[in-house]
A and B are shown apart, each in its own frame.
Chain A
Amino acid sequence: MAKKAKNPQDTLDTSSSYLLRKNAGASDWIFSITIWVLLFAVVAVVAYPLYFVVIASFSDPVDVGMGRTLLAPVGIYLEGYEEIFRYDRLWNAYGNTIFYTVAGTILHLLLTIPIAYTISRKNLMLNGFLATFLIITMFFNGGTIPLYMMLRAYGLLNTRWVLIVSGCVSVYNIIIARTFFANSIPAELMEAAEIDGATAMQTFVKIVLPISMTIIAVIGLYAAVGYWNAYKPGLMYIRNDELFPLQVILRELLLVNMNDMMVVGNGEVEQMRKAEQIKYGIIVVSTLPIMCLYPMLQRFFAKGVMIGAVKG
């Protein structure tokens, strides 16, 4: 490491080894320590609430209420999780959400990527018009009630379709993808393909798609997170128990347990306590799978978001 440090280029790249450098000066040390302290503070601020949720979900709600759970769970209490897992509607809903997320994400990609590619091509007639048209929909829409009436007219209410179709196109994602196609794919590549006799479809499928995996991963992740977290469509368009997505059931589990006793009547206080813990348990149960997805897509994610931001 020390040998390599002779090359100034390497010193810049191996920033994480600052503290290990043998010939580091005092100012280097102060600099490094400051950075480490600051970074640690930032991580603590971001990570502690998450950590707190996890320990609170295992602790006795009385102790949580009294503020005794700061660093480790106090008085292990699992009734909240028992309650969550006993709620049989939950598992059905979990399955539903996985289905909606997978099917929805595929549909989202099938629509978003071709649209973005199409409007990114400068030789497309009316491509400027199409892009403007799409952008207008970002600012103006019909509103909730007309949308509801339209979905009803199509016969989509109370079907699985409504949860997949709603949110299957996002103009925001299209713009990100368009920027990628316009800036990161050299026009020469497509010209070469054309000269070699590739049709427009062949160019897209065989040339463009294979080198666009980054943007596909990013849009896919955006879509998947969106579908996973969506509860509004389920709340508004679905009445059939069997079709509810996870988030609607979790919301329900939370709200029905929090009913104000004064309004509804005689209550068991144990339930109130449980409700407090259920709150934390629900966060863990519902975010765990999607959090596991993040590290795997992390390397695409950071890169892809940058691509969308750079203007050509």
Chain B
Amino acid sequence: MKKILSLVLALMLVLSCFGSFALADDVPTLKVLVRHDPRSPKIGELDNYKRAEEAAGVKIEWEYVTSDAWKEQKSLVLASGDLPDIFFGTQTIHPSDILSNIEYFIPLDDLVAEYGDQIQEMWEVYPSSKIANTMPDGKVYGIGRYMPNRPATLIGSYINQKWLDNLGLETPTTLEELEQVLIAFRDLDADGDGDTTDEVPILALSPSDGKRGIQAFRGYFQAENCVENEFGVIDGKVTFMPATEEYRQWIEWCHWLLEEGLINADCVTLDRATWTAMLGDANGSAGGLITTWTNDEAGANMDDFTILDIQEGPNGKAYMAGNKANLACGVSQWCAASITVNCKDPEAAMRWINYFYDDANGAEAANGPVGLVYEIDENGVYRFMEDQYETTGYHIYDNWYYSLGDQNIGWVSPEFEKNYFPPTPIEERKYVVDQAYQDNLRDEDFIVPPMVFDRDSNDRAVEIKTDIDKLLKETVADWFVNGITDEQWNDYLKQLDKMGLQEYIEIYQNRLDEIRGN
């Protein structure tokens, strides 16, 4: 009897083993390569990502590459063909990577039509998120994203309110008024230490350091670029902004600043570390006008700086570089997810990707799961749990600790973003600046969105851009310091033409017409 019993038990054990094996086989496994910030927990361990696996009925095998090693790893992976099933996360795969390795990626249009209803919704509301990833063959190989609560402008101008108050001056609103204020900063004792010579009216960074330097003033002359590239669309025509008369005015004005001693003389070479150190100096005297992401960068002197909103320049309205359609930060040309030819079950992969593209899941993907980072109040509004939120001490962006941060995936609808998903306390500070500049932004028509060209045009555009960028860099630095003559300006225009500027513009114009025509 015992023997029979044990035999039955053993048989049951064996059968149950087979049973569970059979069950495991039903769930498709996807190998996902993700670029991740080593300071954050691994996203595969977060609740919302576990729920995504369940909802889509897939098993995810995560492979993490730390963000600093991504560049090396990406080129190895693409060159050796050692592909995952899915590349995951924005700033992971760029459309140009797909363009040069198109045989590795599968077109996603049909899959989206069948399994990606939520992604389609995003494409309808933010068409640029689709355009940015549409290949010249008209197909989409990578899914973009829309990140909520991101600014439309990049750089804000701040003026030293303490100095204004000390001198009894009004906050300037036109460029002329600003010039007067800067001259007053230079000549008078603005910081109130009894010395009239130690004030730096504008404390700027080297022009090569992003837009924190004199580049930020281009909008005052209507010579700003559209963030994504050096172009702007004026009267339906793609215009190369650095070849305009307005651009010349801007550089002449900057030269005037330097000659008059209204800007720090070392601003061509000043590095970021010294700059932030000077701004945050405990003795004050940080500078009168700065251009920066938020006034946080002034450290200890942060509260001295208020937003400077110049409304009028010599050519009429003064603009800020930015983008009302939130192309600047919310939408990215990078693909948030792309599926490779290695993937055996693209349907399942698309189901899983699509999971992140709705309000609730997009919100969690952006800043972290509900229960850990957010609580939802009785009106359905997401509240950032600051008090319970565990900060780690070494993470810059605490509201991005439990997410991929700027490498994010997903989207939320404008309605949800406006009513239920307020900016986090950290985002709030940028949000205030951004709101202040809403009236200083050009219409959406001005923007040349990020686009993908066919391979030949792309190669040519990159080639021309390389030459032109070099020329721009050299000339800006030279003219800023030495001023500019008519002859130099004409030579410069000729040189641009010789480098293929017209062809460069044409490539953009043609592609833009194609897209806008559709």
With a cutoff of 8 Å between Cβ atoms, the chain A residues found around residue B297 in the complex are 261, 269, 272
A145 close to B273 (CB less than 8 A): no
CA distance A149 to B399 in the complex (A): 39
Any B CB within 8 A of the CB of A6: no
With a cutoff of 8 Å between Cβ atoms, the chain B residues found around residue A263 in the complex are 406
Any B CB within 8 A of the CB of A128: no
CA distance A127 to B444 in the complex (A): 74
CA distance A266 to B423 in the complex (A): 11
CA distance A279 to B155 in the complex (A): 27
CA distance A140 to B278 in the complex (A): 50
- Which of chain A's residues has its CB closest to B293's CB? A261
- Which of chain A's residues has its CB closest to B155's CB? A262
Contacting B at CB under 8 A, from A242-294, are 248, 251-252, 255-257, 259-273, 276
Quick one: CB contact mask for B127-170 with A, threshold 8 Å, 1 for yes? 00000000000000000000000100011000000000000000
Any A CB within 8 A of the CB of B5: no
Expressed in whole angstroms, the minimum distance between the Cβ of B182 and any Cβ of chain A is 23
With a cutoff of 8 Å between Cβ atoms, the chain A residues found around residue B274 in the complex are 65-67
Among A29-37, A83-91, A96-104, the one that faces the other chain is A83-91
Among B67-75, B118-126, B474-482, the one that faces the other chain is B67-75
Any A CB within 8 A of the CB of B394: yes
- Which of chain A's residues has its CB closest to B81's CB? A149
- Which of chain A's residues has its CB closest to B71's CB? A235
A267 close to B394 (CB less than 8 A): no
CA distance A304 to B63 in the complex (A): 45
CA distance A145 to B37 in the complex (A): 25
Expressed in whole angstroms, the minimum distance between the Cβ of B131 and any Cβ of chain A is 22
Expressed in whole angstroms, the minimum distance between the Cβ of B306 and any Cβ of chain A is 17
Expressed in whole angstroms, the minimum distance between the Cβ of A61 and any Cβ of chain B is 7
Q: B394 is contacted by which of A86, A241, A273, A276 (Cβ under 8 Å)?
A: A86
The verdict on A271 contacting B280 (CB below 8 Å), with A261-B293, A265-B150, A266-B426 known, is: no
Any A CB within 8 A of the CB of B316: no
Any B CB within 8 A of the CB of A239: yes
A62 close to B394 (CB less than 8 A): no
CA distance A263 to B281 in the complex (A): 25
Any B CB within 8 A of the CB of A230: no
Expressed in whole angstroms, the minimum distance between the Cβ of A74 and any Cβ of chain B is 12
CA distance A152 to B83 in the complex (A): 12
B69 close to A248 (CB less than 8 A): yes
With a cutoff of 8 Å between Cβ atoms, the chain B residues found around residue A276 in the complex are 273
Any A CB within 8 A of the CB of B65: yes
CA distance A236 to B69 in the complex (A): 8
With a cutoff of 8 Å between Cβ atoms, the chain A residues found around residue B396 in the complex are 257, 259, 264, 267-268, 271
CA distance A152 to B429 in the complex (A): 48
Any B CB within 8 A of the CB of A94: no
Expressed in whole angstroms, the minimum distance between the Cβ of A206 and any Cβ of chain B is 46
The verdict on A64 contacting B393 (CB below 8 Å), with A149-B80, A262-B155 known, is: no
Q: B276 is contacted by which of A145, A248, A252, A273 (Cβ under 8 Å)?
A: A273
Any B CB within 8 A of the CB of A23: no
- Which of chain A's residues has its CB closest to B392's CB? A86
Any A CB within 8 A of the CB of B66: yes
Quick one: CB contact mask for A127-153 with B, threshold 8 Å, 1 for yes? 000000000000000001100110010
With a cutoff of 8 Å between Cβ atoms, the chain A residues found around residue B114 in the complex are none
B277 close to A65 (CB less than 8 A): yes
A235 close to B72 (CB less than 8 A): yes
With a cutoff of 8 Å between Cβ atoms, the chain A residues found around residue B280 in the complex are 62, 269, 273
Expressed in whole angstroms, the minimum distance between the Cβ of A221 and any Cβ of chain B is 28
Any A CB within 8 A of the CB of B389: no
The verdict on A145 contacting B38 (CB below 8 Å), with A262-B293, A264-B406, A266-B429 known, is: no
Give the number of residues in B that approach A within 8 Å (Cβ atoms): 51
**Central interface residue in B64, B210, B394, B405, by most chain A CB within 10 Å:** B394
B68 close to A267 (CB less than 8 A): no
With a cutoff of 8 Å between Cβ atoms, the chain A residues found around residue B312 in the complex are none
A267 close to B296 (CB less than 8 A): yes
Quick one: CB contact mask for B270-303 with A, threshold 8 Å, 1 for yes? 0011101110111000000000011011110010
CA distance A67 to B266 in the complex (A): 15
CA distance A61 to B155 in the complex (A): 25
Any A CB within 8 A of the CB of B79: yes
The verdict on A252 contacting B68 (CB below 8 Å), with A62-B281, A266-B427, A266-B429 known, is: yes
- Which of chain B's residues has its CB closest to A68's CB? B277
Expressed in whole angstroms, the minimum distance between the Cβ of B384 and any Cβ of chain A is 13
With a cutoff of 8 Å between Cβ atoms, the chain B residues found around residue A241 in the complex are 38, 64
Expressed in whole angstroms, the minimum distance between the Cβ of A99 and any Cβ of chain B is 20
**Central interface residue in B154, B281, B293, B400, by most chain A CB within 10 Å:** B293
With a cutoff of 8 Å between Cβ atoms, the chain A residues found around residue B272 in the complex are 272
B397 close to A265 (CB less than 8 A): yes
- Which of chain B's residues has its CB closest to A87's CB? B394
With a cutoff of 8 Å between Cβ atoms, the chain A residues found around residue B193 in the complex are none
The verdict on A256 contacting B278 (CB below 8 Å), with A152-B82, A267-B296, A269-B299 known, is: no
B299 close to A65 (CB less than 8 A): no
B293 close to A267 (CB less than 8 A): yes
With a cutoff of 8 Å between Cβ atoms, the chain B residues found around residue A267 in the complex are 293, 296, 396-397
With a cutoff of 8 Å between Cβ atoms, the chain A residues found around residue B210 in the complex are 260, 262
CA distance A41 to B272 in the complex (A): 31
With a cutoff of 8 Å between Cβ atoms, the chain B residues found around residue A261 in the complex are 293, 297
Any A CB within 8 A of the CB of B211: yes
Any A CB within 8 A of the CB of B15: no
CA distance A271 to B394 in the complex (A): 8
Expressed in whole angstroms, the minimum distance between the Cβ of B41 and any Cβ of chain A is 12
- Which of chain B's residues has its CB closest to A249's CB? B38
A251 close to B68 (CB less than 8 A): yes
With a cutoff of 8 Å between Cβ atoms, the chain B residues found around residue A268 in the complex are 296, 396
With a cutoff of 8 Å between Cβ atoms, the chain B residues found around residue A272 in the complex are 272-273, 276, 297
CA distance A93 to B248 in the complex (A): 53
CA distance A123 to B343 in the complex (A): 58
Expressed in whole angstroms, the minimum distance between the Cβ of A73 and any Cβ of chain B is 16
With a cutoff of 8 Å between Cβ atoms, the chain B residues found around residue A255 in the complex are 67-68
CA distance A263 to B297 in the complex (A): 15
CA distance A204 to B218 in the complex (A): 75
Expressed in whole angstroms, the minimum distance between the Cβ of B28 and any Cβ of chain A is 22
With a cutoff of 8 Å between Cβ atoms, the chain A residues found around residue B66 in the complex are 252
Any A CB within 8 A of the CB of B43: no
The verdict on A266 contacting B68 (CB below 8 Å), with A62-B281, A144-B76 known, is: no
Any A CB within 8 A of the CB of B494: no
The 9 closest A-B pairs by CB, nearest first: A65-B277, A255-B68, A62-B277, A145-B79, A271-B396, A65-B274, A266-B426, A252-B68, A65-B273
Q: What is the interface of chain B, defined by CB distance below 8 A to chain A?
A: 37-39, 63-69, 72-73, 76, 79-80, 82, 150, 154-155, 210-212, 272-274, 276-278, 280-282, 293-294, 296-299, 302, 329, 393-394, 396-397, 399-400, 405-406, 426-427, 429-430
19 A-B pairs besides A264-B406, A272-B272 with CB distance below 8 A are: A63-B277, A65-B278, A89-B38, A149-B80, A235-B73, A252-B68, A256-B68, A262-B210, A265-B400, A265-B406, A265-B427, A266-B399, A266-B426, A266-B429, A268-B296, A269-B280, A269-B299, A273-B280, A273-B299
Q: Give 7 A-B contacts (CB < 8 Å), ordered by A residue.
A: A83-B394, A89-B38, A148-B79, A239-B65, A262-B155, A269-B296, A272-B276
